[in-house]
């Protein structure tokens, strides 16, 4: 297979194989549950992980897992196990580390930072609010589609990501244990090719939107979910590559548009557009925007603002 990622363990295998000095670092919302299932101390931060620790078990979303990967980068001898508490980012399966630094995203690639194993514990995501679950689905879809369309993707990688996209079409935009595996496949796949303008927008707008509109609780997955259809509409209008590749790999274009429409949040989109205008030059400079499937031109900003996706019929 072209798409590869760390081995998947069960909780029982984790308890059996993680021997010696083990420390857990987890998002606060799951710590109480972890304390009843895992026999190890829980650290408040990665800085609180003692130097004597031999294993770090991290439980949380993509941002927290990336911070744990950075901790492993600083301590090469530390063994790392990732347990995602929600699907979407697929950070547990990718050598890419994305950290927030002074309102911007610091992105680097380091295969040595990959976890030694992944544990899927789907029940942790059942209590996640429905709107957050749907946004996580949009994050997964963005990885799969942008990786598939990337100009850096090989035919072999496109074939495997096309299979991921077919499986995505069968899932609800809500809780389903299969989302965890597909998120890992989509993220590991796009890490071998690149993402595009959806991620350029998400990485650039997240910090200013959080500052300017704190009540809307903006986050990476929501931005990916909201801008996925608009960006794909612009890609389609600018080039025949979109339809050509979908046809070449036997993907149903109309069904994909229906899924992207279901992910689109028109109210959030309208509220994001003024900030998109403020940050447009930074979006154009973002490395992800530069690997978009179609060259992003400065005049695309006006097209974003005149693209009423919520009013368009599905093709």
- What's the pLDDT at 106? 87
User: Which pair of structure tokens corresponds to residue 272?
Assistant: 């994001």
Q: Give the integer Cα–Cα distance in Å for 242 and 294.
A: 9
The enclosing H or E element of 106 equals: strand 104-109
- What's the pLDDT at 2? 80
60: alpha, beta or left? (left if phi > 0; alpha if psi -120 to 50): left
CA distances to 17, 25, 237 from 86, rounded to whole Å, are: 24, 16, 33
Q: Give the integer Cα–Cα distance in Å for 289 and 197.
A: 4
Q: What are phi and psi of 97, to 5 degrees?
A: -115, 125
Cα separation of the two ends of the chain: 34
- What's the pLDDT at 307? 81
- What's the pLDDT at 315? 45
Q: Give the integer Cα–Cα distance in Å for 224 and 220.
A: 6
User: Which pair of structure tokens corresponds to residue 60?
Assistant: 């949380």
Contacts of residue 206, defined as CB under 8 A and 6 or more positions apart, other chains included, come to: 100, 105, 218, 219, 220, 223
165 and 183 Cβ atoms separated by less than 8 Å: no
Show the CA angle centred on residue 284, arms to residues 314 and 307, nearest 5°: 25
Q: What are phi and psi of 81, to 5 degrees?
A: -125, 130
Average pLDDT across each block of 10 residues of the chain; the chain has 315 residues. List them in order: 89 96 94 93 86 95 95 92 97 93 82 96 93 97 98 97 98 97 97 96 96 96 97 95 96 97 94 97 96 96 81 45
Could you give the domains of the chain?
A: 8-125 (3.40.50.1970), 130-311 (1.20.1090.10)
299: alpha, beta or left? (left if phi > 0; alpha if psi -120 to 50): alpha
- What's the pLDDT at 101? 78
């Amino acid at each position: 297979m072209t798409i590869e990622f760390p081995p998947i363990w069960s909780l029982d295998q984790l308890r059996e194989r993680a021997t010696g000095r083990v420390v857990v670092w987890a998002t606060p919302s799951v710590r109480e549950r972890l304390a009843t299932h895992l026999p190890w101390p829980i650290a408040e931060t990665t800085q609180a992980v003692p130097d004597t620790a031999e294993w770090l078990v991290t439980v949380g979303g993509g941002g927290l897992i990336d911070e744990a990967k950075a901790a492993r980068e600083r301590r090469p001898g530390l063994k790392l196990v990732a347990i995602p508490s929600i699907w979407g980012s697929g950070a547990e399966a990718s050598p890419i580390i994305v950290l927030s630094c002074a309102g911007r995203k610091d992105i680097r690639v380091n295969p040595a930072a990959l976890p030694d194993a992944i544990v899927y514990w789907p029940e942790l995501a059942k209590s996640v609010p429905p709107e957050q679950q749907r946004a996580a689905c949009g994050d997964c879809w963005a990885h799969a589609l942008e990786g598939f369309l990337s100009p850096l993707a090989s035919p072999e990688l496109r074939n495997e990501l096309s299979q991921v996209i077919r499986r995505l079409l069968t899932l609800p935009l809500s809780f389903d244990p299969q989302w965890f595996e597909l998120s890992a496949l989509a993220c590991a796949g796009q890490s071998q090719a690149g993402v595009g303008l959806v991620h350029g927008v998400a990485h650039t707008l997240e910090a200013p939107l959080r500052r300017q509109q704190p009540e809307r609780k903006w986050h990476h997955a929501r931005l990916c979910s909201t801008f996925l259809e608009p960006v794909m509409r612009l890609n389609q209008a600018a080039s025949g590559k979109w339809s050509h590749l979908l046809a070449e790999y036997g993907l149903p274009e109309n069904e994909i548009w229906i899924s992207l429409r279901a992910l689109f949040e028109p109210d959030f989109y309208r509220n994001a557009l003024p900030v998109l205008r403020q940050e447009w030059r930074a979006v154009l400079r973002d490395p992800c925007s530069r690997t978009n499937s179609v060259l992003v031109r400065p005049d695309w900003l006006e097209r974003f603002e005149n693209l009423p996706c919520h009013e368009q019929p599905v093709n």
